[in-house]
Structure 1
């Protein structure tokens, strides 16, 4: 789901939406729109730098439009949803995505103003859920409209990770939310309560961190960790290796609140992840997925829900468990053992003799009888 800029090919679509009976009923000008006037209006709007119009796409479906018109004091907002998709939650999504898109494009520092007809219960709820504040009333053509205002606010967010493949998350989020302050912490010396108090973060996002989060930190600040299982299945350590060892070909990344019990916090959302390739390739794909998850958490102000299902615990692996079992007979399991450990910072799959250690990386399963792999030989 995403917003795109309007173009001249959308003229008929916008015209049809604007003349929808329910849209006209809730509009200030309740008269039907005339085609010739619409053509002139939309042509000017597309060229006007003080007007931003976006179309919401959900895969191949065209859901609705949202418009922001700049005045000296604020932006005025207007949106509508295709009648086929009303009542499905798209109103909240187009509003939140629209605000994010506006702030990204124009680095907005002005308040956003909405006028909602007094009896339009659905729209009033949508604006309230998006943190708009009721700020008065106005009369137009004898109808009462509620004024809602949203003042831009800059928050500080922290990305906590010890892995280099998570560094791109910071670049993506700075581009998506340039009005917020984004900070990367990649070592434990900088992750202290004293350091955090200096920046007072709204949320700490944790894509990859092997250390326990101190209770004095998660008790004070909202901490969200990303775990590579469909929780509550797979609580505990080494989730990727435990999944591959059990034969899983895909999983879900769970975004959850950090609490005292490991991986037991409420869930913000989950996204599916394929488990093909090396561990590092999987982590890189997960990185892109986590970017999207953080985007949704921030944009839609998602609230967590309790975990559901049977709890299954994973045990953290030790370096000694990287040794290849001499009795292993299935070539695919050998391939899985090599690839699941092939990432920076992980003890590689190995065999050893009395005098040498053989470490295996970059494995490729060519046939049912052949694995091609790099080998590093270390003299003991």
Structure 2
């Protein structure tokens, strides 16, 4: 029969302060907290420091009691254990099995609790809670050195390495002095030539560095200029954005009205043609009838009615044409103003316009708006009354 694996009640990741700890019961959690409290780091925290580090241990012990009454507190207990003993908390407790706790224990055994208390204060970020004396400062220094990887053994190895390097340096220096004495005569002869070569090399190097500096300065100036141009263009764009949006909205409104008037004009033209055709046909019939009766007054009356109705129809059509042309021209005018600003911004980005050109743009952008009606845009005046008036004037 296979052995059934036990499922841990709580799994706590303490990092470097003890790795992943598996607790199968709350009694094990109590034993862990008690053992750490009685170990050298815990004893020093309890007796010397107190503060947040010891407060979190007390909260964890209290949460164990809550978890015994309700499993809902297990997650909070897990979090408190991580805060009290984990390596990520700013007031982390140096456990006895972790490298920091072992260092505190070694310091306490070798140099006493006073020095060890300084190390614990450093590890728990409570060094200010200790009495500042040579022992606590020494302990804090040992803890800081440990955090950056320096301990007693590494210090000895560094000292031995430095000594070896110093001895090698001494030997190299002695050999260099001997070689220098041997080559002294040759150096005297070649000194002038070497000096000349060095001078030429130095001059070339200086020129090359100056050239690089000039190129770098030129690139920097160009980049600064480009940034300034973009910044100015952005400011101008933000200043002109509202007018552009206004004229674009106005163009859309005028275009919508122009489309509506154009459709209405087409429908009116079709309807007026049918109605006028029928009306003129009826009037012409009546005129023929009245003429046959020999009553000229009746024929003239019917003819007048036909002329009047025709004039009204052409007059209404002309008004609709003028309204359509007005909206059409106003839409074109609004579009031209918006395009004018966009063109200016594009040229501004390419530095092809100056500040004086902005005045021209603003003058054109905010010039007074006419009604959009152009004299030549109206429909030709072909009403009967107009034609008769023109004929009479000739």
Q: TM-score, normalised by structure 1?
A: 0.20
Query: Which has the larger Rg?
Result: 2
User: Which protein is richer in helix relative to its size?
Assistant: 2
Q: TM-score, normalised by structure 2?
A: 0.19
Q: Which has the higher contact order (CA 8 A, sep 6+)?
A: 2
